[in-house]
Structure 1
Amino acid sequence: FLGPFRHSTMGVIQPTGASYIGPPEARSVIFNDEGKIVYQSVGYVTDRFTGDTTGGRGAVFGQYAVMGQEIDAGVGSPATILLQKLTTLLPEGMVPKSFSRVEDLPEWWTDT
């Protein structure tokens, strides 16, 4: 990370000089009938013990770890739960989103 990175709520994050080597991740992509991407998900770490530089974190959690701003991404983590709730209350773009609001989903979307 050669920064500096200007964060909307944390101000300037100074460079750490660390390299980003992420763990292997699975992702999903959904295409419409025209072959255009209508949904993409990322960050599903498949092997957190690979010698990466993110502490086994994927997606934006891994990027922030390399910047020296580690976020506990564990399931049930109080920090992660708080961040997820903040994304529904704060203006768009202030906190990284980990899921979409129900009202932002297209009518055709279903997860059943």
Structure 2
Amino acid sequence: MVTVYGIKNCDTVKKALTWLAANGIEAKLHDYRVDGIDAAYLAEVEALFGWQELVNKRSTTWRNLDQATKDGLNQQAALALLLAQPTLIKRPIVLGAAKPLIGFNDKQYTNVFNG
């Protein structure tokens, strides 16, 4: 079983969950808004993907940040911001597969799950 981290009403998370179900892969959703996140989770995914990759610069939350916050982003500031505002995390993040995944790409999922 894999765990899909994200937000249940996110279109990209929905695409990933649909793809996984269609390919017979059992998945459970960890919804940031319902289940929350902690610093240990952020440290784990930051080690896997890097803090720059975790920040979803296409999100509404990002667009609503003031320019000074955006300009002053570094690893420490980004992780604190992501912990405070998990909707800023690029999604979905899929853990428990042969390779951790971030975002959704049909070809990438096929390569990871179907070898």
| Fold equivalence (TM over 0.5) | no
Range into which the TM-score falls when normalised by the shorter chain:
under 0.3
Structure ID, larger Rg: 1
Larger RCO: 1 or 2 (CA < 8 Å, sep 6+): 2
Which has the larger share of strand? Answer: 1
Which has the larger share of helix? Answer: 2
